[in-house]
Amino acid sequence: MRYSLLPWLALAAPSLAAPTLSQTTVKASTGYYSGNINATYTNVREFLNIPYGQTTAGKNRFMPPIKVPMSSNSFDATQYAKACPQYVSAVPAIWNKEVPQYLQYWGNDELDAGESAVFTSEDCLSLAIWTPANATSASGLPVAMFMTGGGFQTNGILVPGQLPPHWVELSQKHIVVTINYRMNIMGFPNAAGVYEQNLGILDQRMSLEWVRDNIAYFGGDPSRIMIWGQSAGASSIDIHNYAYWEDPIAHAFFAESGSVLAFPISQYDVDHTNFTTVAKAVGCDSTDAEQELECMQQVDYNDIINFMGHHQDNATLVKADADQPRLSFSAIPDERIVFSNYTARYQSGMVTKAPMIYGNTANEGAAFQPFPVDDPLSGINQTAADQSTIGIMCCAAESSTLRDSIGLTTYRYQYAGNWTNQDPLPWMGAFHSSDLVMWFGSYPEGEGAPTKLEGQASATMGELLLSFVTDPYNGPEALGWPAFDPTARDGGTMLRFGADGKTVQKVAANDVQAVCTDPSASYDHSP
């Protein structure tokens, strides 16, 4: 079902001089880019479509990304790029039933679930940039670079809850970049005829290299880039943490509800049967890996995406059907980009030495339970939801302990906000993704006006994150967010946002994640 872009909460912003036309056109190494002044936040300049990679169609399909060339041509960056190929699932979930602001936006026309999404393209390797309107090449502002989640299956730049102009308007002290990257079978094919399987991660790295080389033209400081992701995006930036440990580019990392330790990396399709299943279904039945690949590079990508999506939906909706195994296309260990033993990487010191944030929501698992279509108010299996939450949380706890063992700076938080305008069903609570709109300041008005506490919590979170982007070693400490010490008597100090009528409070890790070390401990999903 389609939906309209949700209205953003407008707060008073600093009054600055009006930008000149030249400030909305920027020369970078790959061309001149003309952007907009945001229609709602007029102290924010935006460049919504800057390609960092060439088309991935034809012979480039299932291949590593190719950089866009150096250029002095002019490009229109006033409209969002098309999203990378993806499927609109028909499986009922909180996302498509209650909170579509966390999904890729497709426009105002009706779009049925269960089909390849329109407004997608294989020429999708693009990024978007938001800066203060009067930023210049001399500004030297820190940069928050965001990589979307979506299970490595869906989403992109144009996700309403992940648009940052409100946050940039309030701070006037930083730049935000978000990116498209290939997902599902297009980004993680696991095909016998392909050498590099983790193409989506290579896309991300190429986009980061473009930002390093060009963000100064837009007013950014290439030595102060924080890479940040949520869910699959969090796992992605954690992958970067190890894959590029000798040259991370980023000076800070933020993994929101995800880590590499949460990956089922020991369970993947070693015989490449998933890719072959799709290939046979679209007319590319060959026992020769190269011929299979060449055929798959010529098929209409919508046919590929539609078969994969329908097959996955059927396997989910008819779980007992042994003839409909769920096809899986995600990051897999290749021992170059993704590794099968991350503990060993820590022990060998092969991990980025930059500071990191690991965060979780208090009721992550509510988003993963079967949606009660017949009676949405009836609730879900909360015990199963808690197990999902505990799994995600304990992976963050383990990562934090491993980091501490080699002296790396880590910050931890739990988001526990539960707001009527954000959580329309009483059992949702602080579900997986619900902290996104608080970091971005993009929470919707929805049913019921945002509360004063909600706005204060979002502003506090934004200020703390900006302190980390600016100076990840000292910034959070200066604002009262101590580095996490898992060896402390209380298990370390975390911040908790949005609970108990408070914007933020310090809590002992033992009170949050005792279940990670003591199976008999209880877990409270609504602190």
DSSP 275-294: HHHHHHHTT---SSHHHHHH
Spell 192-223 as b/e; 16+ CB within 10 A means b.
Answer: bbbeebbbbbbbbbbbbebbbbbbbebbbbee
The answer to whether residue 29 is catalytic is no
Could you tell me what percent of the chain has a pLDDT over 70?
90
Task: Check which CATH number belongs to the domain holding 64 and give it.
Answer: 3.40.50.1820
The answer on pLDDT for 3 being more than 80 is: no
pLDDT classification of 320: cutoffs 50, 70, 90: very low
d(CA 365, CA 367): 5
Cα–Cα distance between 43 and 168 in angstroms, integer? 8
| pLDDT exceeds cutoff 60 at 100 | yes
Q: 94-98, 103-107, 150-154, 194-198: which has the minimum mean pLDDT?
A: 103-107
Residue 419 banded pLDDT, cuts 50, 70, 90: very high
Query: Residue 301 falls within a domain, yes or no?
Result: no
From 27-41, 68-82, 260-274, 468-482, the region with the lowest mean pLDDT: 260-274
When pLDDT is cut at 50, 70 and 90, the band that residue 265 belongs to is: low
Please give the distance of CA 133 from its chain centroid, rounded to a whole number: 25
Which has more pLDDT, 205 or 17? 205
Given a cut of 60, is residue 47 above it in pLDDT? yes
Give the pair of three-digit tokens for residue 210.
Answer: 């473009």
273, pLDDT greater than 90: yes
| pLDDT computed for residue 451 by the predictor | 86
pLDDT of residue 327: 86
CA distance 234 to 438: 17
Mean pLDDT for the stretch of residues 347-370: 96
Confidence at residue 1, expressed as pLDDT on a 0 to 100 scale: 30
pLDDT at position 173, please?
97
According to the model, what pLDDT value does residue 117 have?
A: 64
Determine which one of 174, 432, 434, 454 is catalytic: 432
For residue 526, the SS3 value is coil
Query: Where does the pLDDT of residue 268 fall: very low under 50, low under 70, confident under 90, or very high at 90 and above?
Result: confident
Examine the pLDDT at 312 and tell me if it is beyond 90: no
DSSP letter assigned to residue 261: G
pLDDT level of residue 6 (50, 70, 90 thresholds)? very low
Is 11 inside any structural domain?
Answer: no
In the annotation, is 231 catalytic? yes
CB atoms closer than 10 angstroms to residue 10: 11
Mean pLDDT, rounded, of the chain: 90
Average of per-residue pLDDT across 408-423: 95
Give the Å distances, CA to CA, from 150 to 30, 183, 234, 500: 29, 9, 10, 30
Decide if 258 is inside a domain: yes
Rounded Cα–Cα distance for residues 333 and 342 (Å): 11
pLDDT at 322 over 60: no
Cβ atoms within 10 Å, residue 32: 14
Inform me whether the pLDDT recorded for 116 exceeds 80: no
Helix axes 273-281, 301-317, angle to 10 degrees: 120
Residue 296 resides in a domain: no
Please pick, among 126, 207, 231, 399, the residue that the annotation labels catalytic.
231
Rounded Cα distance, 509 and 413, in Å: 9
Residue 227 φ then ψ, to 5°:
-100, 140
Give the pairing type, strands 141-147 and 220-230: parallel
Judged against a pLDDT cut of 60, whether residue 21 lies above it is answered with: no
DSSP 99-168: -GGGS----SS---SSEEPSSB-S---EEEEEEETT--TT--EEEEEEE--STTTS--S--GGG--HHHH
Q: Across residues 274-283, what is the average pLDDT?
A: 96
Asked if residue 15 belongs to a domain, the reply is: no
Task: Determine whether 434 is an active site residue.
Answer: no
Taking residues 416-423, what's their average pLDDT? 92
Closest CA to 281 of 267, 295, 269, 271: 295
> Whole-prediction pTM value?
0.93
Which residue out of 364, 398, 433, 525 is catalytically annotated?
A: 364
What percent of the chain shows pLDDT beyond 90?
A: 82
Is there a domain that residue 310 lies in? no
Residue 479 and residue 466 in contact, taking contact as beta carbons nearer than 8 Å: no
Could you give the number of structural domains in the chain? 1
- For residue 506, the cross-strand partners are 495
Is 358 part of a structural domain of the chain? yes
d(CA 156, CA 148): 6
Its domain, for residue 501, covers: 21-269+331-516
CA distance 239 to 263: 10
> For residue 183, what are the contacts with CB-CB under 8 A and spacing of at least 6?
84, 86, 150, 152, 153, 154, 155, 200
Name every residue whose Cβ is closer than 8 Å to that of residue 269 and which is 6 or more positions away in sequence: 190, 275, 328, 332
Mean pLDDT over 1-22 rounds to 36
In this predicted model, what pLDDT tens digit does every residue of 324-333 receive, in sequence order?
667 889 999 9
**pLDDT value for 324:** 61
pLDDT at position 18 is 42
Q: Given this model, what pLDDT does residue 325 score?
A: 67
Long-range contacts of 52-55 (CB under 8 A, 24+ apart): 52/125, 52/126, 52/127, 52/179, 52/206, 52/207, 52/210, 53/125, 53/203, 53/206, 53/207, 54/123, 54/125, 55/122, 55/123
